[in-house]
Chains A and B, each alone.
Chain A
Amino acid sequence: MSKNKKMVWNVSLIVALLVLLFVLEQIMPSGSMLFTVLKKGAIYALVAVSMNLLNGFTGLFSLGQAGFMLLGAYTYAILTIPAQSRGSVYQYYDGGIIHFAIPAPLALIAGGLIAAAFAFLIGLPVLRLKSDYLAIATLGFAEIIRAVFQWDKLGPLTNGSNLLRSFPTFQSVLYPFIVSGICIALIVMLINSTYGRAFKAIRDDEIAAEAMGINLAHHKRLAFVISSFFAGISGGLLAMYQTTIQASMFKSAMTYEILLIVVIGGIGSVTGSCISSFLFIACSEWWLRFLDNENFYIGSFHVPLLRAGFRKVVFSIVIMAMVLFYRQGIMGTKEFSVEALQGFFKKLLRRKGVKEAGDAHE
């Protein structure tokens, strides 16, 4: 396919998706779980892709995602709470020390920048560490950030450990899709650039990459900072989705969830991360919820074992099975594309054709 044709395909698919979402919003009741899942799924897709950029494409095993999301979410919330609401939000701290509010898109970007700045500082010492030591050090940093944000001495800025709320949120499901879409597109462009190739070279063999003239420290730091920037933005989006935020939400369990999404989607596949984040959110929030219902009947058969928490057991068994037996994840390192789909069907047809020919031969 020519480059132009690809462009046309891309644009028309994106437009079709947005139109589809728009139509859905008009025809479906707004309370439907579908929109909850789509909103949260789009946000998680972004953070999963940002984690994949680090873990899958650069080979840096970082577990600091929740910490960077916290930074993004707090920056967004602190900067956008309208001045007249601050008195009631910061009720224990006399309205806090910030008395202005900036527009939401700017605050989202500011959230990303703050996360990136912290990533730069944290990266200076920890990026020298390797594999699981890097993982545990970044996990540690995320925990430290969480503790600092809960400190009541910083209360006038962060509202201590209390909820931040009353900041602007989004109503339409299009908002997170557009923001996440733009961010993911940027990440994809980065992956396909010279930098992306350098990242992959580092992942595959550090020593060889260095011998080829790639500045290891520089590229690792770049990947870490960029990944954190997008984690920060998704943190801001998450704040908008949740409508209230609090430091205690951003526990290491959140990072583990994102990591599992990346693994299920396939480490090193952007589309895999996106697909799996929607599946993951849909399963955990929606499709499996019936398993928690004690009085669930199939016909007149009272299904045993069902009670609160069963959904999570089933879910974690599925995840465990994926991790053990389907290590490649949904997409492996491949990407989903029209060409691949065409190729798949062609192959299918050809095989069928061959088979028929074979049958005819007999």
Chain B
Amino acid sequence: MKKRGLTLALTVAMVSAVLAGCGGSGGGAAGSTSGGAKVVKIGVYEPASGDNGAGGKQETLGMQYANSKTPTVQIGGEEYQVELEIVDNESSNDKGPSAAASLVSSNVSVVLGSYGSGVSIAASDVFKDAGIPAIGVTCTNPQVTEGNTHYFRICFLDPFQGTVLANFANENFSAKKAYILTKLGDDYSTGLGHYFKEAFTGLGGEVVEETFQEGNSDFISYITSAKNAGADVFFAPVSTEAAALIIEQASAQGLTIPLMAGDTWDSNVILNAASGKDVQIYVTTFYQEGGNAEFDNGIKEWINADNTAKANNGGDDTIAAVTAMGYDAYYVALEALKAAGSTDPAAVNEALWKVTYSGVSGEIAFNETGDALRDVAYVKCANTQTGAWDFVAVQGVK
């Protein structure tokens, strides 16, 4: 008896869902027309909340700025209006796929993102099944592009970044022992920690590894452990949220060894947390402010003119490397659309393999796994007096 009730219930739920679906999803095919001009949609799959919300917003800003500068593109001899379809993946591996599915259902031709490797890996299959290519902007974990043909990436990878950081620690601080703190369940954090450890032990160093749970805000014990272990550097490739807490508590505990981290720390969140404190912070990153004066001035002006943009950038006009990367990613997508001569995702995917672009963060071209050919990283140091980044070195791997 109840079984039948159940079936009926499901039917009702189904029918109502279908009806709502017909009403709701009037997206039309890729490259639809709206108000005369043809439209091509680019999906932006970025976190706007959660751990990586701050970084995701900055990355999105780069894309929005690029979109405001170049709002149209020539595809197959016709002018298309470019529309950014932005969703929030909440920095969460289980919310991400649904956000990705909503991009798929709005018929985007290509997807940009995400900040954070875990969410990119988690949504990868959704894009793959829909046949939509994705361009990773700053997801540095190798697993994002490995073994698939639809995910590309314009940044360097963690094995490279980890080696650069290990070399830097070894050469500049003559570090013999490193304390590595990573976050459980964060692929970026675990991955970069792992590659750093490999490279660092390869150089004859010693490491102490510890992890923290999501939602942890008490880092005093970790800092004490690092001190007790006699570490020469404190390596913490973690989200900016945890980083701000670590910096604050490291300075309160009087930790004197340098704090080192990867690209996530290149953010004004870190600068604000470190300002006026007695800490040394070194990060590797994709772009150094001042690398391209035209871009720097343009985006600063744009950010200062728009209160929402400024708030999304953390309240000031410091240029995060991820913003520059987001900017470049947008143009790579446009190049792919032009080369494809169509808004069909499959054609764009095909075209992406051969796209080359000279962006503000350097030359971009893809290798056979879909990764950008990058061989340099910038090393920066936080200036706790001026609240800005000081350029330290351009580092490659020999």
Contact = CB atoms under 8 A, between A and B. Distances in A.
Interface of A: 6, 9-10, 13-14, 16-17, 20-21, 24, 28-34, 36-38, 40-41, 45, 85, 88, 91-92, 147, 150, 152, 160-163, 165-166, 169, 171, 177, 184-185, 188, 191-192, 242-244, 246-249, 270-271, 274-275, 278-279, 282, 285-287, 289, 292, 308-309, 335-341
14 contacts: A6-B1, A88-B143, A88-B147, A150-B213, A163-B122, A163-B187, A185-B3, A249-B93, A249-B94, A275-B10, A278-B14, A308-B49, A337-B4, A339-B1
Interface stretch (B124-132, B236-244, B323-331): B124-132
A172 to B, nearest CB: 12
Given A20-B11, A33-B21, 9 more contacts: A6-B4, A13-B8, A33-B24, A33-B25, A33-B102, A163-B143, A275-B12, A287-B20, A287-B24
Contacts of A147: 213
Contacts of B298: none
Nearest to B195: A92
Given A243-B122, A274-B10, A150 B185 contact: yes
Interface in B1-34: 1-14, 17-18, 20-21, 24-25
B88 interface: yes
Given A88-B143, A165-B121, A17 B10 contact: yes
B105 interface: yes
A150 B2 contact: no
A336 B13 contact: no
A271 B126 contact: no
A338 B21 contact: no
A244 B144 CA distance: 12
Contacts of B48: 308
B122 A40 contact: no
Contacts of A247: 184-185
Contacts of A92: 190, 194
Nearest to A166: B147
Contacts of B184: 150, 160-161, 247-248
Given A38-B17, A337-B4, A163 B10 contact: no
A336 B9 contact: yes
A92 B211 CA distance: 15
A188 B6 contact: yes
A31 B8 contact: no
B89 to A, nearest CB: 11
B93 A246 contact: yes
A171 B129 contact: yes
Contacts of A289: 102
B11 A16 contact: yes
Contacts of A282: 17, 20
Contact of A32 (B8, B21, B143): B21
Nearest to B48: A308
B107 interface: yes
B4 A9 contact: yes
B149 interface: no
Contact of B11 (A13, A32, A166): A13
Interface residues of B, number: 53
Given A31-B101, A171-B129, A242-B97, A10 B3 contact: yes
A340 B5 CA distance: 9
Binding site secondary structure of chain B: helix
Nearest to A279: B13
Contacts of B21: 28, 32-34
A293 to B, nearest CB: 9
B122 A335 contact: no
A265 B118 CA distance: 33
- Output the residue of B10, B11, B147 with the most chain A CB within 10 A: B10
A286 B97 contact: no
A278 B49 contact: no
- Output the residue of A28, A29, A31, A37 with the most chain B CB within 10 A: A31
Given A31-B104, A163-B122, A244-B125, A10 B4 contact: yes
B190 A242 contact: no
- Output the residue of A165, A271, A278, A279 with the most chain B CB within 10 A: A271
Contacts of B124: 243-244
Nearest to A276: B13
Nearest to A277: B13
Contacts of A14: 7
B107 A31 contact: yes
A287 B211 CA distance: 38
B98 interface: yes
A55 B101 CA distance: 33
Contacts of A10: 3-4, 7
B5 A335 contact: yes
Nearest to B182: A161
Given A13-B4, A20-B11, A336-B5, A31 B105 contact: yes
Q: Which 7 A-B pairs have the closest CB atoms?
A: A248-B185, A337-B5, A31-B104, A243-B125, A161-B184, A336-B5, A278-B13
Nearest to A89: B143
A275 to B, nearest CB: 5
B6 A270 contact: yes
A156 B213 CA distance: 20
A171 B128 CA distance: 12
